[in-house]
Amino acid sequence: MPDVDEGPILELEGGSWERRVERSALPVGVMFYSPSCPHCRAISPYFEEYAKEYKGRMIFGRLNVTVHTWIGEKYGIRGTPTFKFFCNGKPVQEIVGAVYPALIKRVIEDVIRYGPECAKNLTEIDYEITGYG
């Protein structure tokens, strides 16, 4: 099933994650959620409002972690809502839990402004190298 492009927030799914998030030319903000999460439902209208406000400068998406568990595991999602922000395909910022909407907006603005430069300065971890062996 392809991701749904109904409105300002993409409903992401595993088959398009790489194309929509990891290969995006624009910064991407993703809300990791679960349908049973009351805090996710409470914050969603604010996230949608920001998606409209920052359209063209950031892509906004949602991912249901109860359906796409492997993506949640890949990015260390331990609770919902979790907001993760990506630049150049790399996670550069994260907010976990029920937070004030103003904090989310501030992070969005910072990621748009500083995220691409920050992503260039990240060092990838080579998980093949361990101290055990």
Residues 106-132 have pLDDT tens digits of 999 999 988 777 667 666 655 565 555
> With 50 as the cut, is the pLDDT of residue 2 above it?
no
Q: How confident is the model at residue 14 (pLDDT cuts 50, 70, 90)?
A: confident
Burial of 24 (0-12, 13-18, 19+ CB in 10 A): middle
CATH fold of the domain at 9-120: Glutaredoxin (3.40.30)
The torsion defined by the Cα of 1, 81, 87 and 112, in degrees rounded to 10, comes to 120
How far is residue 75's CA from residue 78's CA, in Å, rounded to a whole number?
A: 9
pLDDT number for residue 122: 62
* pLDDT mean over 38-58: 96
pLDDT number for residue 27: 94
How far is residue 4's CA from residue 119's CA, in Å, rounded to a whole number?
A: 27
pLDDT number for residue 126: 59
How far is residue 87's CA from residue 62's CA, in Å, rounded to a whole number?
A: 16
Domain ranges of the chain: 9-120
Q: How confident is the model at residue 21 (pLDDT cuts 50, 70, 90)?
A: very high
Active-site residue list: 37, 40
